[in-house]
Every structure is written in C-alpha cells, then in structure tokens.
Amino acid sequence: MPPRQSAKKRKAPESNQSTLDSFRLNHGARSKAASRAPASQPSTSTDTADDSSVIAASLLGSFRKQTLVDRIVIQCQGADSEPSSIPFDASWATLGVLVNAILKSHSPTTSYQEAYELCQNMCLNGFAQQLYSHLETALQTHILDEKNTLMKAAEDDTQFLTTLNTHWIALGKQMSTIRNIFMELDRSYVMRKTQDPSIIDLGKSMFRKTVMEISRIQSRTIARLLDLIELDRNGVEVDHAMMKSVIGMLLDLSLYNDYFEPGFISASNEYYEKEAVAKITAMTPQDYLKNADTRIKEETNTRIHLYLDSCTRVALNECVIHHLIHEQHEVILARGFDAMMDANEQEPLRILYTNLKDKPGQGMGHFRAAFGSYIKRRGAEMIKDPSKDGQMVVSLLQFKDKLDWLMKHVFGRDSSLLNILKESFEDFINSRNNKPAELLAKFIDGKLRAQGKKNSEENLERILDNVLVIFRYLQGKDTFEAFYKRFLSKRLLLNRSVAHDLEKSVLAKIKNECGPDFTKNLEGMFKDIEVSIDLNKAFKESKEFGEVSKNVSTFSVNVLAQGFWPSYASSDVILPAKMVELQNAYEKFYSRELKGRRLTWRNALGTCLVRGKFSKGPKELMLSQFQAIVLLLFNTADGMTYKEIATATNLDGKELKRVLQSLSCGQHKILIKEQQEASEIQDATSFSFNDAFTSDSHRLKFNSIQQEQSTEERKDTQAKVMVNRQHQLEAAIVRIMKAKKLLTHSALINELFQQLKFPLDATDVKKRIESLIDRDYLSRDEKDNSLYHYQS
C-alpha cells in the first residue's frame, strides 16, 4: 500500500519530534516496562530523556486535557550491533498481534522491548515500507470499528459526546504506545517518505477521514456542542472539561475553523439577537448595558478560557457586541442617555461608548449627536429662564465640571466629543444675547470682592479659571468687557477687592484669551490706581495738605483718565465746607505737580469714615460720600424734612431717597423716619438723629444702595455696548469694501461674520449699510440692488 497523504492540518507545534518525546510518567511505569524485557538481555534504564536509552510515551496531538500513557522503557541495541536476518511474515505476525492487543486495550502478548527490537531489525533489513503498509492496514481496520461504534452512539444525544471523547482519548494513548514501539519506523520511514510527520499524525488523519468526516458523526458532534454551549449560556451546569477535550479534538483534526466555528458563530448570532430583543424592553437601559457587558466578558474571556479556542475571540466579540449594543444603540440612546448623563452613571456610559467607538456603522455618530443634543438641552434650561439668572453661572460651572469629569474618566478625552462639547456650549450659551456675559462678569465681581475672603486664594484661582473657560464660549465678549469694567471700577475705587494680585491674575488670563486690545482699558484702570497712590503720598507731605489737615486723619484721591473708566454722571451736590476745603487744597497741589491738567470731581463714588457720638457710646461709620453729606446735616439740627435735606444738599431726588432709606430703613438705623410704616418718602417726611442707637460692633459698614448696580446703570451699559457695536460694524463694512471695492450683499455678510467677534443681527447690518450709503461711503449698483460699490 502506498504511503498515505495526510489530511489538511491546523498548525500543531506539539507534533514535532522533541514534543512527542517530552512526556514522562512515574517511576512505577519504568519498573513495569522493565519487567517485560527478557531476562537474558541487559536491563539498564535511566531517567534521562536521551533517545538512545528511553523511548517516551506521547500524546495524540495537542489535547486540551492532556492524558498521558505509561512510559515505556526499552533498551536500544548498541551502535555496533549487527542486524539479524529475519522473515517479514513471521515478524509481522508477532507485531500485528501486539498492535491489535494495544488497539483493543488487551494485555500485550509480547514485551515492548522485544517488539521494539523486532521493528528495528525489520527496518534495518529493508522491510520499512512493508511494515508501514501493514501497520496502516491494522490501524484502518481498528478505526473502521471505531466508526461503527460511534455511528451507533450518535443515536443517543445525551451520551454521544462523552462516548466520542472516551474513544478519542483512548486512541491517543494507543497511538502513543504504538508510535514508541515503532520508533525506528517512525524515524527512518514515516518522517522521510510519507506526508505524515509521525505515526501519531497517521492515526489522526485516519480518524478524521474515516470517522469525523462522516456527515452524521460530524454534524451530531457540532450540534451537541452547540446545545451544551446554549445550556451553559442559560446558566445550566455542563461538563466544561469534556467540552474542552472534544473541541480540542476538532482543533487537532483541523475541523474547528471550517466546520465548528461557522456553526458556533451562527448559533451565537441567533441566541444574542433573541436575547437583545427580549431584554431591551424588560430592563432599564442602565441595567441592559450592565447585562450586555457581563455577556461580552463571559463570551470573550470566560468561555474562551473554559473550552473555546482563542482564534474565535474576535468573531465572537463582534457577534455579541453587534446584537447587544449596535443593534439596540438607538433605543438605548433614546430611552436612557439623558438619564445616565444626569445621574453621572459612569459604568453604563463607559460600556456604551467603548462598544460603539471605532466600530463600523452609525453607532458612534448617533452617540455624538445624542451627546451634543443633551448638552444643548440642559444648557438651554439654565440659560433661557430669567427666574434662574441668580444661579446661572453656578449651574454652568457645575454642568461643565460634570462634563469634564465624564470626558476624562469615561470617554477618554475623545477628540470628537471634545469638539462637540465646545460647539454645543457655544450654541446654547449664546442663545440668549448678552445676559450670560453680564452674569459672568457679575459672578467674578462677587468672588473678587473683599467679602469673598472666606475662600482661600487657591480656591478662588480654581473657580475663576473655570469661569474663564465658560467665558471662552461667549460671542459677546464686548458685553462682558463693559460690565467687567464697571464692576472692576467699583472694586478699585471703593477698595473692595479681595486681593490685588488676584485681580492682576484674572486680567492676565483675560488678556491671554482675548489679546491686549481687549484689556488695554482695564490695564489703564490699574495704572491710574497705582499713580494715585503715589500722588496721595506726595499730597500728604505737601504744604497744601498741611494747611487744611486739622481734624482730618487721612484724605486720598483717585485720579482717573476718562478714557479708561466707565462714565459716571456728574453731581452738583453741595459739600460741607471741610470737604470743599480739602478738594481745593488737592486741586492746588495737583495743578502745581502736573501743569496743564484739570480735575473734574465725581463725588458719587467717594467714601468717608465718620465718627458718631451716641448716648451709649461712640461708633465709627463707614459711609458713602452722599450718606456722609446727609448725616453731617444733623450736627446742626435734631430733625429735618425730606424737602429741607434736598435743599441743603442739592442731591437728585432718586439718589437722596436711596440715601435716606439706607440710613433709616437698613440694618443700622442712624436716622429715625417719621411714619416708619409708610414706604414712600414725601416732601414733608421728617427724619431725626437716633441718639439712642447702639450696636455690638464699634465700626459699622453701611451698604449703600447707590453703590449697587441699578437697573438704570445696567441699561446704560447695555446701550453703550450696542452703540459701540454699531461703530465697529460700520468701520468693518468700510474696511472690507475699501479692500474689495465691489461685493454682493451675501459676500459682505460672510466677511463681517469672519471679522467681527460679536453676534450679528441682519436688521442691524442692513441699517448700517443704508446709513453708509446715505453718507456716500457706499453705493448700490444700478442694475443689481444686492451689489455694493465702495465710494472713494
């Protein structure tokens, strides 16, 4: 019989010679083998792995559960031994009986030592090919019997795999024993003259072709394995060791990739498609994702480890993720994404994101869209409701902190999601023109005021850094600058800043964000304060101050350049004589120091420290200049009407009423108002000095209503922003048209959007263009009204 051509094999590194010789059993096996040797022969055995003294037991291929046969210790002939001349038929008769006994698991009729030497002599006498042919026939006969046995066993679903596994393991032991006896044949003929690397591979290829390629046996093997895997998925206890052994057999016989794995993946698709449909409606999205994650880990880690081959991991992983995540991601996003984001549910979000990213299909696109929509919806809820203005900035900071935490810990700072976060924030925060910018400036003002000292400077730095992150998203930064300037002016002029260094730090960050042009006025304000400090030091040492300093402990003036500071309304208030004397002395000093400059006094922002004498003890009163002017009137009168006070001070009516309310209706009632229950102050309303006033504190601060930003101030600031925008818009139109000479209306609008940093309104643009046409800066084309010409 010609040499067999081996069946297609999966790569099996254990089939090489060194591996086949590498297994040993215990010392008792050696004694048992040695007892079979004839007494006349020397019986020298050793534990070394040298093939000249020991023939080792081996396995049938690479079993997952490795079962060893007894080690056979056979003394080889010496190198100088001469082969004896023997007849083939008689020799094969002896070997054939032994082979059949081994294959049927009977007691051997001949010692393994004799059989080994007999095989060696036959090979040395030129009978290797005949010996191989007879051995092949004997193996084929046995494996045909195995086929018949397994065909009958295939009728019993419950025990078939167990029976198959038992026969496979037995065949492995038998082939290992036969191979060790026929070692000389294996080396001198099988490995050199046939396509089987070993007698063991010969047995495997016969078993594959004769048994496992039979459709009934193969299909029943795969079907039963799939049944057990489904039971395992459903939580039913199964024999993992037996399944691993059978699947290992399929690997050894190169049946795993072409036959088992396709069926397994197909069954997995069906199983997880049904599970996804059933559980997506029965569970919350959060619980569904956690269950999906458990399933993914079970399949790609646990199940692979227990009995599947690692080559299946990728296909199995894709199968489970496809059905449990990809096929259901739209339902998960619609039903649970917002809730998971609101609750900061890290684990479900991580599972969803991880299993959608870098995967084919629209899953990640839908995830990004849901992420952006969520940010815009929640942001709009914080921005658009005027009743929530008081908490808007705090809510925005908390929202941004939450999103940043999720980006870092759940989404791995995904660049596409970071872009969506930025775009979504810009979208919703600019949906309400100007108000977020105003409230950001007001929030910073609250943190930088002196009453914010309860916060550590380090904590304030962190909070302000976060606020400036929100500031980056504003389109109307000019609105922010206008309100920030007004708030900063009061902090500087009223000495209410928590820390000068912190103010400078915030200014540096704004400058870094918006450039030097944006902050030049703010920097000028700080410069004026620094110059004023030097001037005040010089004034205190001047002769002018010496002439008027009696009964005055300190007097300081802030000299402000009008271009840097917000505009303040002038007041014709009538000052006490002492105040007039001090102001005149400073003007005289200033004109001497800086010739050619003129001062205009803005008394509305002045402050005074006044000593008050009460029957229950003196107090120091920290007042605005207007409060002090009113209160000093009561040095010469016990009581005065509103009309008398107005005549004596010449204060504006609204301003005077605010001052009187702060002195008579606030926390510290220095003045007593007649008819306290009446809210309106009339001309005849009378006020008197409260000599019985008392307080636990020696120095008292009066929160002047006039120092707080009024509605009128806010409207005035907003109006100035709009006027400034109109000027910038007109300047930009002229600049663009001067460069282009000729532009359509749409092209001009596009250029304006690129150059201007504040939001544009189409109506405002149209009005500015009409104004420029009226003033002969532009003209319309005679044939096309949408085309503009620059008029040089």
Structure confidence at residue 679 (pLDDT): 66
> How far apart are the C-alpha atoms of 482 and 237, rounded to whole Å?
74
With beta carbons less than 8 A apart as the criterion, state whether 246 and 165 touch. yes
Q: What's the rounded Cα separation, in Å, for the pair 728 and 440?
A: 23
DSSP designation for 238: -
Q: Are 238 and 55 in contact (CB under 8 A)?
A: no
Contact between 689 and 670 under an 8 Å Cβ cutoff? The reply is yes
Instruction: Give per-residue pLDDT as tens, 590-627.
Output: 999 888 888 989 888 888 989 999 998 999 999 999 99
Residue 361 region, left (φ>0) first, then alpha (ψ -120 to 50), else beta?
left
CA angle 18, 24, 30 (to 5 degrees): 130
Q: How confident is the model at residue 46 (pLDDT cuts 50, 70, 90)?
A: very low
- Could you tell me if 33 and 75 are in contact, meaning their C-beta atoms sit under 8 angstroms apart? no
> What is residue 23's predicted lDDT score, i.e. its pLDDT?
30
Higher pLDDT, 290 or 723: 290
Residue 45: pLDDT over 90: no
| pLDDT value, residue 371 | 98
Least Cα distance to 606 among 731, 771, 493 occurs for 493
CB distance 760 to 769 below 8 Å: no
The arithmetic mean of pLDDT across residues 258-282, rounded, is 97
Q: Are 138 and 92 in contact (CB under 8 A)?
A: no
Q: How far apart are CA 635 and CA 628, in angstroms?
A: 11
Written as six digits, the tokens of 524 are: 């000028």
Q: Is the pLDDT of residue 5 over 90?
A: no
pLDDT at residue 96, as a whole number: 94
In the predicted model, is pLDDT for residue 771 greater than 70? yes
Residues listed for the chain? 792
Query: Would you list the DSSP string of 712-771?
Result: HHHHHHHHHHHHHHHHHHHHHHHHHHHHHSEEEHHHHHHHHHHH--SPP-HHHHHHHHHH
Rounded distance, CA 49 to CA 463, Å?
74
Under 8 Å CB-to-CB from 236, ≥6 apart: which residues? none
Position 157 pLDDT exceeds 80: no
562 secondary structure, DSSP code = T
Cα separation, 647 vs 617, whole angstroms: 31
What pTM does this model have?
Answer: 0.76
- Give the amino acid at 663: L
| CATH 3.30.230.130, the chain: domain bounds | 606-709
Dig out the tokens for 345 from the structure: 């549910």
Confidence of residue 450 (pLDDT cuts 50, 70, 90): low
pLDDT at position 56 over 80? no
Place of tokens 């007691």: 107
Flag whether pLDDT at 704 surpasses 70.
no
Give the single-character DSSP code of 792. Answer: -
Calpha distance 308→264 (Å, rounded): 10
Architecture of 606-709 per CATH?
A: 2-Layer Sandwich (3.30)
pLDDT of amino acid 19: 33
- Which long-range contacts link 353-359 to residues 24+ away (Cβ below 8 Å)? 353/410, 353/411, 353/414, 355/292, 355/296, 355/321, 355/325, 355/326, 356/325, 356/326, 356/329, 357/414, 359/321, 359/326
Helix, strand, coil distribution of the chain in percent, nearest 5: 65, 5, 30
CA pair distance 466, 651, nearest whole angstrom: 43
For residue 673, the SS3 value is strand
Token pair, residue 135, equals: 């051995």
Residue 673 has pLDDT above 80, yes or no: yes
Asked which of 278-282, 297-301, 444-448, 673-677 is least confident by mean pLDDT, the reply is 673-677
Going by C-alpha positions, the residue among 148, 716, 757 that lies closest to residue 471 is 757
Strand partners, 683: none
Is the confidence at residue 785, as pLDDT, over 90? Answer: no
Helix (H) or strand (E) holding 789: strand 787-790
Q: Three-state DSSP class for 541?
A: coil
Residue ranges matching CATH 1.20.1310.10 in the chain: 13-237, 288-302+320-515
What CA–CA distance (Å, rounded) separates 125 from 135? 17
Mean pLDDT of the chain, nearest integer: 85
State how far the Cα of 625 lies from the Cα of 627, in Å rounded to an integer.
5
Per DSSP (E only), the strands in 591-721 are 607-612, 619-624, 639-641, 671-673, 686-689, 699-701
- Record the tokens describing residue 747, joined without a space: 């092209």
pLDDT at 8 > cutoff 50: no
Q: What is the pLDDT of residues 13-44, one digit of tens each?
A: 333 333 333 332 333 333 333 333 333 333 33
Q: Is the pLDDT of residue 782 over 50?
A: yes
Q: What does the alpha-carbon distance between residue 233 and residue 355 come to, in Å, rounded to a whole number?
A: 21
Cα–Cα distance list, 790 to 154, 202, 741, 766, 782 (Å): 95, 95, 5, 16, 14
Instruction: Give me the mean pLDDT over the 35-55 stretch.
Output: 34
Q: For 288-302+320-515, which CATH superfamily applies?
A: Cullin Repeats (1.20.1310.10)
Residue 486 pLDDT > 70: yes
355/514 Cα distance (integer angstroms)? 40
**Helix spans in 435-515 (H):** 435-448, 457-472, 477-493, 500-514
Backbone angles phi, psi at 597, to 5 degrees: -105, 150
Q: Which residues pair with 688 in a beta bridge?
A: 639, 672
779 forms beta bridges with: 789
Res 311: pLDDT: 96
Is residue 544 predicted with pLDDT exceeding 60?
yes
Instruction: Provide mean pLDDT across the span 169-192.
Output: 94
The two tokens of residue 644 are: 């008398």
Token digits of residue 219: 């299909």
What pLDDT is attached to residue 40?
34
The predicted pLDDT at position 677 comes to 61
Chain centroid to Cα 519, Å, comes to: 34
pLDDT category of residue 754 using cuts at 50, 70 and 90:
confident
Q: Residue 626 has which token pair?
A: 């207007």
Q: Which segment of 82-91, 653-662, 701-710, 778-787 scores lowest on mean pLDDT?
A: 701-710
Q: What is the mean pLDDT of residues 543-558?
A: 85
Least confident of 80-94, 396-410, 425-439, 507-521: 80-94
pLDDT reported for residue 38? 37
Tell me which residue of 61, 58, 195 sits closest to 132, measured CA to CA.
Answer: 195
Strand partners, 72: 55
Q: What residues does 497 pair with on adjacent strands?
A: 449
Q: pLDDT (tens digit, 9 = 90+) per residue, 351-370?
A: 999 999 988 889 999 999 99
Q: b/e for 760-785, b at 16 or more Cβ within 10 A? A: eeeeebeebbeebeeeebbeeeeeee
Yes or no: domain 13-237 corresponds to CATH 1.20.1310.10: yes
Give CA–CA dist 316/306, Å, rounded: 14
Phi/psi of residue 743, nearest 5 degrees = -150, 145
> Which amino acid type is present at position 420?
I
Contact 644/650 with Cβ under 8 angstroms?
no
Q: How far apart are CA 759 and CA 343, in angstroms?
A: 34
State residue 391 phi and psi, 5-degree precision: -110, 10
Structure tokens at 641: 């009407």
Architecture of domain 712-790 in this structure: Orthogonal Bundle (1.10)
Answer with the residue of higher pLDDT: 583 or 62: 583
- 452 — pLDDT class (breaks 50, 70, 90): low
Q: What is the mean pLDDT of residues 241-254?
A: 96
Of the ranges 70-79, 339-348, 432-441, 671-680, which is most confident?
339-348
In sequence order, which residues have a C-beta less than 8 Å from that of residue 134 and are 6 or more positions away? 92, 96
Answer yes or no: are the C-beta atoms of 74 and 116 closer than 8 Å: yes
Three-state DSSP at 175 gives helix
- CA dihedral (482, 486, 489, 491) in degrees, to 10, reads -120
